Amino acid sequence: MSGGHAYEVSLFGEFFPKDLKPILNRITLHSESSARIHTREIVFRPFNSDQGLKHPGTGADPTLLRARKETLDENSAWELYTYLKAESVRTYPDATVRACAIVQITGDALSFAAGLGYVKQAQIYKRGYAFRRGPLVILIFQQENTDPQTELPIPAHADTLWEVEVKTAQPIRDTPVHQAIDVLLEFQGLMKGLLDLRRQDM
């Protein structure tokens, strides 16, 4: 791993709606706090790249910029973030480790991203729950599409899969990555038999 980067360490999973209550009950038992979430997320791509176009001369996918805002909190600020490619599975077989950059901004995320040379590519909403367990945040949500006319969320179907993202609440700088992975694996063990959490290449 190159020096100077901040990293996010994470595990992912999904489950059927019928399993929501027992999963929420177990996570609540092993968490310090919980809250409902309804997060708006926008994905931006560089202005000079078409969707799926590689960086000229590098063969690499363009770096996407993402913005998120919690709609249930009137005072919530936009958060801009971006990830680099996940570290090799050979290096970290048990969890996804990605270099990341996260900043909060005041005002309109669309205008800010446009000023950086990005254009909107996609938008979704995530409705569900957020839990805190020590240095981890556990997100459980269903994705909602956006009405192209109103920009408002379209409620998910009742049978839409629930998604789970367990990650370090703050980017890691000083804490060793392996220490963060150990905390994730401890939580993975607590959910064993009810929820399969795994590494995911991003």
Angle at 83 between CA 16 and CA 35, to 5 degrees: 45
Local confidence band at 53 (pLDDT 50, 70, 90 cut-offs): very low
Which of 97, 121, 116 is closest to 105 using CA atoms?
116
Q: 6-190 architecture in CATH?
A: Beta Barrel (2.40)
Chain mean pLDDT for the chain = 90
Query: Which H/E stretch holds residue 27?
Result: helix 20-29
Q: Which of 101, 40, 122, 100 is nearest to 73 (CA)?
A: 40
Q: What is the pLDDT of residues 10-35, one digit of tens each?
A: 999 999 999 999 999 999 999 999 99
pLDDT digits (tens, 9 = 90+) for 148-192: 899 899 999 999 999 999 999 999 987 899 999 999 999 999 999
Tens of pLDDT, residue by residue over 67-106, are 999 999 988 999 999 999 999 999 999 999 999 999 888 8
Predicted local distance difference test score (pLDDT) of residue 202? 66
Give first-to-last CA distance, the chain, whole Å. 17
Q: Hey, where are the domains in the chain?
A: 6-190
Residues 9 and 172 sit within 8 Å (Cβ to Cβ): yes
